[in-house]
Structure 1
Amino acid sequence: MEKAISIIMSYLDSTWGVLLQAKSQLSTTNAILMLSMLGMMLYRAWAGGAKPPKVTRKLTVVSEDDFPPIEPLDKFGWETTEPLQLRPYKPKYNLTMALENLEPSELIPIDKEYKDRIYERRKVLKENYDIALGIHSDKGTVHRDGEEAPLVHDAICELYEYVMGIYLPNRYPTMFTLMDAKFETGKVFMLQNKVTGEVLPASVSPGGSLIKALETLAKTIDEDMLILLPSENGEKLIKEGDDGLRDRRKGEKKESLKTSVSDKGNTKYVLQAYATCFPSGFNTREKLGKQLAAIHDPVPGYKEKLEKSMDRYFERLEVGKYMKRMNWTVTAGAELFSAFGDIHSSKNEDLRPLKSEELDLDDTFLRVERQTLYRLPKSGAIVFSIHTYRYPIQQIKEEGSGEDLAAAIDGIETGNIPHMGKYKRVPVWGQAVKDYLRS
């Protein structure tokens, strides 16, 4: 600031000297031009030397410095932004992790379907609240009043603040604005959703409802989110003092979950909380409290092909590293909310093939999950998020990708897990869909 003032005073002195020397020769027009030039010089001095320092916003649990910087989309128009067009299918289906690096700024995509999807998610919450939201009953963190809270308490609060208080207002400033409100108890950050008109807390208040926090996330972003914490032989690994939450809010450092388990080699991750409005063929509540292997027990080949590598990867995932992968299938007659079948078959289910004339083209979709994975820096929890896209089967054919998808459907049963075809109900819809795509 002192440098900027010095520069401005220097400009003033030199310009005033010129004006005094030339005042007898200046016309009114030239005087106006000279004053305009003075104004420009003052602006350049201010812009070049008096830029305010960037303020790092600190919320209740986290601050912006705890996460990678988010590149803002200053002119983003959600109403004109097309959904991502993902075509992850290949001629042969092989079950692999297939993880790719993800730019942190691209964590949560938003497009012109946002408003309709948010409406659909709220409808699911109204009709299937206990299935769409869940928190495991494991106890671990101590409240100030002496009562225990779920083990996942800190992770939910951290994730909530990251999404509501950091990511959304920084990434999509045309849609979300972070505001501060002053109360007798202090300053509170609020997030304004300019699309829905809602103003929501950017933090979970002390003693606030965790299930309501998950509900708010589910109603604000079109992402299904699952929170996993490590356990070793069933033991709880969070370490804390007499008052873990109070210590955390004071900013005192606790031993992170990642540090507690990184050298053990046999860590297993457990689903401790979730908000899933669009489950793909499973009831998420039935997965609550289970380890990764048990969660994926119905998936053919998971134990042989993925279990060890998945456990190892979850254990070693570093803070600040964001990953993504894709998963796809074809659905015939399945809704976005498919918690009770229609997408995956049960072991003894009798699968009757659809005839071509029975296939409802308006209700047949290529369903693609864009899955993301990252670790929260404070709690050490891992967040597994899913954004579900549905592309009408007619669109796939019209864009010229019909043969590629038909070949990929054939490739499901010729890949490294032949039983995957039955699991994905290919015997039901496969032939009818291929006939249409190749017609």
Structure 2
Amino acid sequence: MDSDTLKRSLSDLVVRSQPYIDQASTQLRKSRQHCSSFLKTAQQDLDILSREPHLKTVVSALILLVFVTVALSRYLYRRHLASPSTTRPSTPTIEKAPSSKAAAPARKPGTWIPSSFKRPTPAPFPNWSIETTKPLPYRPFRYGPKYFVTMGLRNVKWDDWIELDNHYPRFHADKARRIKERGPKCCRTAPEAYPAAVELLEELREYLCDRYPTLYQRTDKGVKNLWSGEELDTTSRPLPEDPMQTCARLTQDDLAIMIERADGQYYLLAGAILLAGFWRLEDKYGMPLSEIHTSGEVPQFREKLEKGMLNFFRRLKPEELISRNNYFLQVDEDLAWSQSIGSEDSDGISWNTAEKNRAIEHHYFRSERQALRRLPKSGGVVFSIRTYFHPITEIAEEDYVPGRLASAVRSWGDDVSRYKGKAKYEDVLLEYLDKKHQEQLDRGLKLDEEDEKRTYPW
């Protein structure tokens, strides 16, 4: 097709299309006129209605409702993103512990069929150093006004069974001193728990050498501490010392093993309790689980904890590793034994002997991270109890901590307050925490951002 023919074709197409173009233009013009008329009428109606006082109130309320709805939706969305379910394992209560959903094992109480489960080999702790690896910042307290008595349990990765950090030298020295000075008062194993204690020692040897290879090294006889130079015998039979005592030398944790007897109850029959601060192994040794708690007057144990705890122990599987956290306040500087509640060898230890309202420099925050697992061969249930011990003046420098801790302390009921010795330190402690909290607010700390930056138990 030549250019002249193409031009004629296009011209003819334009001519034939013109009626449709004109019709479309007319319809568009009518639509614009209609919309303009509608908007003008609507504006007039709105002007008339807006003169009605009640309508102004309704419109204002609707606008406020829309604003609140949008703001609340955004807040809940941020909470969801920062919630423990997206960053760390959830924190159910012991009554709803992860393992308690399964049916109770069909076995006779006091018997155990060895499990074939093998704990996964942990990866080496990244860049672990006895000089620079800081303690994990557990801060397991919540805002008031109500304090809930529960045992919050969380699933734990097997890599994180035992936690070591640059406080290790102090813990190691305190344990060695107390083993020498107090020996069987702090470390002992009943004959029926001996297989479980040996199994725990073997588990620790394997785990620690894999997880902390710059600190521990396997040897033909056991394990070598590369920092202290100690060589511990874990393979000779009989062992050169109580296996729980050797376990204690390897960790910063206190350790306890509960054994199920024919009555279905779990008894404390092996332990290395060297840094507990407020309780003694010799007082609890041989007791069933419930009596351990009732003899210590744990608040609301019978009403809220006992049934769920007993069920949890019966159903705990070797494949599971569970942890929980707690916290206390202490008014002296001794990690191993709080002298403020009396001599460790006295009969009547209690908060009644503590000096009231000591200077804030003597106030310490004491938190425990307890990990629980069942040993696959023996069936014993192991508690590893790692204590974190810091001056109040240190943790109160952290954002949000003084305000939240003050609120938590104020939320304690009378029973919890007695148990934690609140009367001996509340005046000095709360005055100091309130002051530090106000300082944080004055420098611009935004309380509504805390949930985005911290989640329990941190």
Q: Normalised by the size of structure 1, how large is the TM-score?
A: 0.67
- Residue 390 of structure 1 corresponds to 389
Task: Measure the CA separation in 1 of the matches of 2:385 and 2:215.
Answer: 21
CA shift for structure 1 position 341: 6.8
Alignment of 1:70-149 (within 5 A): 70-73=122-125, 75-91=127-143, 92-136=146-190
CA offsets, 1:307-357, max 9 Å, x none? 1111110010011200000010111126222277729xx8997578834xx
Are 1:294 and 2:348 counterparts? no
Mean Cα displacement is larger for which, 305-314 or 189-198? Answer: 189-198
Are 1:173 and 2:227 counterparts? no
Secondary structure of the equivalent of 2:219? strand
Letter of the 1:156 partner, please give it. A
2:278 aligned to which of 277, 281, 290: 281
- Residue 416 of structure 2 corresponds to 420
Task: Measure the CA separation in 2 of the matches of 1:399 and 1:349.
Answer: 28
Task: Measure the CA separation in 2 of the matches of 1:179 and 1:347.
Answer: 43
- Residue 216 of structure 1 corresponds to 246
CA shift for structure 1 position 202: 3.3
Alignment of 1:255-266 (within 5 A): none
Are 1:163 and 2:204 counterparts? yes
- Residue 105 of structure 2 corresponds to none
How many residues end up aligned between the 2 structures? 314
CA contact (8 A) 1:319 1:376 kept: yes
With over 3 angstroms needed to count, the CA separation of the structure-2 counterparts of 1:290 and 1:210, relative to structure 1, is farther
2:356 aligned to which of 354, 357, 360: 354
- Residue 363 of structure 1 corresponds to 362
CA shift for structure 1 position 190: 2.5
* Greater fraction of residues in helix: 2
Are 1:202 and 2:234 counterparts? yes
Mean Cα displacement is larger for which, 322-331 or 63-72? Answer: 63-72
- Residue 411 of structure 2 corresponds to 411
Secondary structure of the equivalent of 1:309? helix
- Residue 193 of structure 1 corresponds to 225
CA offsets, 1:42-82, max 9 Å, x none? xxxxxxxxxxxxxxxxxxxx999722221223642221101
Task: Measure the CA separation in 2 of the matches of 1:369 and 1:116.
Answer: 17
Which is greater in Rg? 2
- Residue 314 of structure 1 corresponds to 313
Task: Measure the CA separation in 1 of the matches of 2:185 and 2:430.
Answer: 34
Task: Measure the CA separation in 2 of the matches of 1:312 and 1:421.
Answer: 28
2:193 aligned to which of 152, 155, 168: 152
- Residue 251 of structure 1 corresponds to none
Secondary structure of the equivalent of 1:80? coil
- Residue 62 of structure 2 corresponds to none
CA shift for structure 1 position 197: 0.7
Q: Normalised by the size of structure 2, how large is the TM-score?
A: 0.64
* Greater fraction of residues in strand: 1
Q: What runs of 5+ residues in structure 1 fail to find an aligned partner?
A: 1-61, 137-149, 181-188, 234-266
CA shift for structure 1 position 179: 2.5
CA contact (8 A) 2:375 2:381 kept: yes
Secondary structure of the equivalent of 2:174? helix
Task: Measure the CA separation in 1 of the matches of 2:115 and 2:316.
Answer: 21
CA contact (8 A) 1:74 1:173 kept: no
Letter of the 2:188 partner, please give it. G
Task: Measure the CA separation in 1 of the matches of 2:339 and 2:169.
Answer: 25
Task: Measure the CA separation in 1 of the matches of 2:131 and 2:354.
Answer: 41
CA contact (8 A) 1:158 1:376 kept: yes
CA shift for structure 1 position 373: 0.2
CA contact (8 A) 2:256 2:270 kept: yes
CA contact (8 A) 1:321 1:374 kept: yes
Task: Measure the CA separation in 2 of the matches of 1:75 and 1:403.
Answer: 33
1:437 aligned to which of 427, 433, 439: 433
CA contact (8 A) 1:74 1:174 kept: no
Secondary structure of the equivalent of 1:191? strand
Secondary structure of the equivalent of 2:227? coil
